[in-house]
Amino acid sequence: MKTLEEINKIREEKRKELDLRINTSADTREKHILVCHGTGCTSSKSTQIIENFRKIIEEKNIENVRVIQTGCFGLCAKGPIVIIRPEDVFYAMVTPNDCEEIIEKHIQNGEIVQRLLCKDIDNKTVQKLDELNFYKKQKRIALKNCGVIDPENIEEYIAFDGYKALEKVLFHMTPDEVIEEISASGLRGRGGAGFPTGRKWLFTKMAEGDQKYVVCNADEGDPGAFMDRSILEGDPHCVVEAMMIAGYSVGANKGYIYVRAEYPIAVKRFQKAIDSAREYGILGKNIWNSGFDFDLEVRLGAGAFVCGEETALLESIEGKRGQPRLKPPFPANEGLFGKPTLINNVETYANITKIILNGAKWYSSIGTEKSKGTKVFALGGNVNNTGLVEVPMGTTLREIVYDIGGGIPNGRDFKAAQTGGPSGGCIPKEHLDTPIDYESLQAIGSMMGSGGLIVMDDTKCMVNLAKFYLGFTVDESCGKCTPCRIGTKRMLEMLEKITEGNGQKGDIEKLENLAVNIKAASVCGLGQSAPNPVLSTIKYFREEYREHIDFKECKAGECKALMKLSIDPELCRGCGLCKRNCPVDAISGEVKQTHIIDQEKCIKCGTCITKCPFHAIKG
């Protein structure tokens, strides 16, 4: 247990000690080796890297060097990432075998290991993180501490203004003032729908009930999205603190966080954050003698996309099948165990402490007229810099894909980007300059969604993409209401028919008609948005659907049944790349001569199409 005075003292001392993390001219002899320990980098052996560093430092008996695990730096494509502070040197794609060289050259001799520096898209070698194009247009608010602090060390969080917002709220603000501040900031729900956060808090506060709950939705089900996971892995305390502030404002003393069990690192770090907050007397009874009680509990999801829908999530916390409830009553009035409940998404919470500390005015100065602040996106698919990015609202898609993302690999063209996952829609080339905010995205038939942003190049078939998403929703439909359960299945069947070359005239219209009805008649957000990927691909790529139906042709070469691969003798230079990469040895040909595909052997996997540097293979 620590008193408020003791916490403030820890902050002051630790802040001095950790100044080198954010200040390149910090006056210190110490060096910190920061190693990304998010899921992406951990998958490529960053745990081993940390161990190796520690072992070498111990063996060589080097003083004043610390190795710290941090959350995600964002540039997952170049992972595992190692950063040395205070000089802020950034090493990419480090392997456990590189540790010795880094220690010997860099730490001991102050010499930079050139070969591990990162090459930017324009082929310039970059030494510092913020010199990368990837970071130039970003603004980190929700991800402020990710990659700076050790997420498992509460004192490091405290050092960077941690739990200061809680102190401000408990001792200097009334609940109404807090809600007023959040409302004035213009913050809207980052889960996708964009409901004003302040208003949600107000509704829960006004609801009558002896017991109220605060819930954090960390059931990040959108395949291809990992913003919430990265926040929980990189800065779990900021969510704990924000949930406490929410609890104080709406009058709740108990909180639940619902996390996917597929995120073991996030679960472990959040649990650890709760434990250390309890140990420091930040969670518990009569916190800092303010009279406010609050405690938190982690609940695990078990792999059901629909549980990201707020009422289904509540059912699941109660231990039941995650089937959505009818609304109204809204959770603000009748939520968890029938009590008034506030539910916000992880990223929404991650903004709260910053708004309290810097003021609503500061926050609302960022972004567009109706969408304030920043948004975190998980950038993936056919783009050079895959990873986690945070940009001010109003940034255009072109800036995200080209300036930050570094464009499309292999010299291919941009075809479309999907936002909002299975509930969203695709954005074609002609809308690349659309500013990203809630209204603009909706106007072009997509949605903000939770933050998945998948880029697709011109080898992707949009009919097949729609089929993929529909397959997902059919799997994940909970089965409670008929339009979603049966309707999406019928749509999937039609799409399968089309991609297999059995499409008939009128199928597009049938799909559209069914889509509109499913949207109108489904109980929850899953069903109401499930047809969106189909509608938006039809809207922008109707021609492609027609080619599949009328000419039995898939120009992108993804629909196998419609595909017959051939090599264009005009373009083939006989480099042999296709031959070497073919998994079934179906390609033959001499070097520098046109190669031929044996149609009998070919399994139409398309590997040769992606490998051919001259785009000579056509499906």
Partner 1 sequence: MQEILGKYSKEKSNLIQILNEVQEYYGYIPENAQVEISEYLSITMAQIYGVITFYSRFTLKPRGKYHIAVCLGTACYVKGSEKILDRAKEKLGIDVGETTKDGKFSLEATRCIGACGLAPVFTVNEEVYGKATVKTLDEAIDKIMENPE
Binding residues for partner 1, rule: CB under 8 A, are: 39-40, 43-44, 76-77, 79, 221-226, 229, 261-263, 299-305, 316-322, 337, 378, 380-382, 386-387, 418, 421, 452, 454, 456, 460, 468-469, 472, 478, 581, 583, 605-607, 610
**Nearest-angstrom CA–CA distance, 152 and 183:** 32
Closest by CA to 18, choosing from 161, 135, 127, is: 161
3-state secondary structure labels for all residues of 458-494: CCCCHHHHHHHHHHHHHHHCCCCCHHHHHHHHHHHHH
Instruction: Please report how close the Cβ of residue 466 comes to partner 1 at its closest, in angstroms.
Output: 12
Smallest distance, Å, CB 323 to partner 1? 8
Single out the residue of 496, 490, 619, 480 nearest to residue 563, CA to CA. 619
Q: Determine whether 45 is exposed, middle or buried from the number of CB atoms within 10 Å of its CB (0-12, 13-18, 19+).
A: middle
**Shortest Cβ 224–partner 1 spacing (Å):** 3
CB of 163 or CB of 377, closer to partner 1: 377
**What 3-state DSSP class applies to 89?**
strand
Residue with Cβ nearer partner 1 (44 or 396): 44
Q: Pick the closer one to partner 1 by CB: 189 or 381.
A: 381
Transcribe 402-457 into DSSP letters: IIIT---GGGPPEEEEEESGGGSEEEEGGGTT-B-SHHHHHHTT----SSEEEEEE
From the DSSP assignment, how many helices (H) and strands (E) are in the chain?
26, 19
Give the tokens for residue 454.
Answer: 């998948």
Least Å distance, CB 468 to partner 1, is 6
Shortest Å, Cβ 433 to partner 1: 23
Q: How far apart are CB 526 and partner 1 at their closest, in Å?
A: 14
Closer residue to partner 1 in complex, CB, 76/165: 76
Q: Which two tokens stand for residue 497?
A: 């028919």
Closer to partner 1 by CB, 160 or 258: give it.
258
Least distance between partner 1 and beta carbon 82 (Å)? 16
Q: DSSP secondary-structure letter at 20?
A: G
Nearer to partner 1, 86 or 387 (CB): 387
To the nearest whole angstrom, how small is the minimum distance from the Cβ of residue 610 to partner 1? 7
CB closer to partner 1 out of 247 and 424: 424
In angstroms, what CA-CA distances link 484 with 256, 372, 464, 494, 578?
29, 33, 20, 15, 43
Q: What share of the chain is helix, strand, coil (3-state, %, to 5)?
A: 45, 15, 40
From 445, 488, 483, select the one nearest 467 (Cα to Cα): 488
Q: Which is nearer to partner 1, 103 or 218 (CB)?
A: 218
CA 244, chain centre distance (Å):
24
Closer by beta carbon to partner 1, 48 or else 290:
48
Residue closer to partner 1 (CB basis): 34 or 462: 462
CA angle, 75 then 473 then 516, to 5°: 115
**Contact by Cβ (8 Å): 99, 48:** no
Which CB atom, from 105 or from 611, has the smaller least distance to partner 1? 611
**Residue 463 Cβ vs partner 1, minimum distance, rounded to whole Å:** 14
Query: In sequence order, what are the residues at sequence separation of 6 or more whose Cβ sits closer than 8 angstroms to the Cβ of residue 141?
Result: 350, 351, 354, 363, 366, 373, 374, 390
Q: How many CB atoms lie within 10 A of CB 8?
A: 15
Q: Which is nearer to partner 1, 229 or 519 (CB)?
A: 229
Distance, first Cα to last Cα, the chain = 67
Q: Which is nearer to partner 1, 253 or 610 (CB)?
A: 610
Closest CA to 480 of 448, 525, 515, 440: 525
Smallest distance from the beta carbon of 84 to partner 1, in angstroms? 22
Of all helices (H) and strands (E), which one includes residue 35? Answer: strand 31-36
| Nearest-approach distance from CB 67 to partner 1, in angstroms | 22
Nearest approach in angstroms of CB 35 to partner 1 is: 16
Distance of CA 228 to the CA centre of its chain: 6
Minimum distance from CB of 407 to partner 1 (Å)? 16
Is 187 or 478 the residue whose CB approaches partner 1 more closely? Answer: 478
Q: How far is the CB of 381 from partner 1 (least distance, A)?
A: 4
Minimal distance in Å, beta carbon 378 to partner 1? 6
Question: What one-letter code names the amino acid at 125?
Answer: T
Q: What one-letter code names the amino acid at 310?
A: E
- Give 211 or 610: the residue with its C-beta nearer to partner 1: 610
Strand partners, 66: 32
From residue 590, alpha-carbon distances to 453, 576, 577, 603, 607 in Å are 42, 8, 12, 22, 19
Tokens of residue 226, six digits: 């990992």
Nearest in space to 226 (alpha carbons), one of 187, 195, 265, 186 = 265
DSSP three-state, residue 397: helix
